[in-house]
């Protein structure tokens, strides 16, 4: 158990819908990262937040957005969902921006 929690574990929805994935980092970690793992694209970095502010952006689509709240939990919002958005979404956390990252168990998103 890495100490990073993600909810829900599984999510099934339809094309065109919007969903929110939630992540609680390890106690004391200020940095949160979001990753997408799909068969087509492999593991891709989406976005990073540090102490409430966006710090780095990866291959995140415009339909996707994220935020980190004052209690340091983070949410990833996915809108206008397409079949290709079906993937495993990981959250990871670290104490600072240059420490190793600890991954949560992931949220499996299925878009039908």
Partner 1 sequence: AQTVTQSQPEMSVQEAETVTLSCTYDTSESDYYLFWYKQPPSRQMILVIRQEAYKQQNATENRFSVNFQKAAKSFSLKISDSQLGDAAMYFCAYRFGGGADGLTFGKGTHLIIQP
Can you tell me the distance from the alpha carbon of 100 to that of 111, in angstroms, rounded to the nearest whole number? 31
54 by DSSP, 3-state: which?
Answer: strand
Q: By CB under 8 A, tell whether 110 contacts partner 1.
A: no
Minimum CB distance to partner 1, residue 16 (Å)? 27
Minimum CB distance to partner 1, residue 91 (Å)? 10
The answer to whether 22 and 77 have CB atoms below 8 angstroms apart is no
Question: Would you give the end-to-end CA distance of the chain in angstroms?
Answer: 31
- Nearest residue (CB) to partner 1, 62 versus 98: 98
User: What is the total count of residues that contact partner 1 (CB under 8 A)?
Assistant: 26
Structural Rg of the chain based on CA atoms:
13
105 by DSSP, 3-state: which?
Answer: coil
Q: By CB under 8 A, tell whether 64 contacts partner 1.
A: no
Where on the chain is the footprint of partner 1 (CB under 8 A)? 2, 31, 33, 35, 42-48, 50, 55-56, 58, 88, 90, 92, 97-98, 100-103, 105-106
């Amino acid at each position: 158990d890495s100490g990073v929690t993600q909810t829900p574990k599984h999510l099934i929805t339809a094309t065109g819908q919007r969903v929110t994935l939630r992540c609680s980092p390890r106690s004391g970690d200020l940095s949160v990262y979001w990753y997408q793992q799909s068969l087509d694209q492999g593991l891709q970095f989406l976005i990073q937040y540090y102490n409430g502010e966006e710090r780095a952006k990866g291959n995140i689509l415009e339909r996707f957005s994220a935020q980190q709240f004052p209690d340091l939990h983070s949410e990833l919002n996915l809108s206008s969902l397409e079949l290709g958005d079906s993937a495993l979404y990981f959250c990871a956390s670290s104490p600072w921006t240059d420490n190793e990252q600890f991954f949560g168990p992931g949220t499996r998103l299925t878009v039908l």
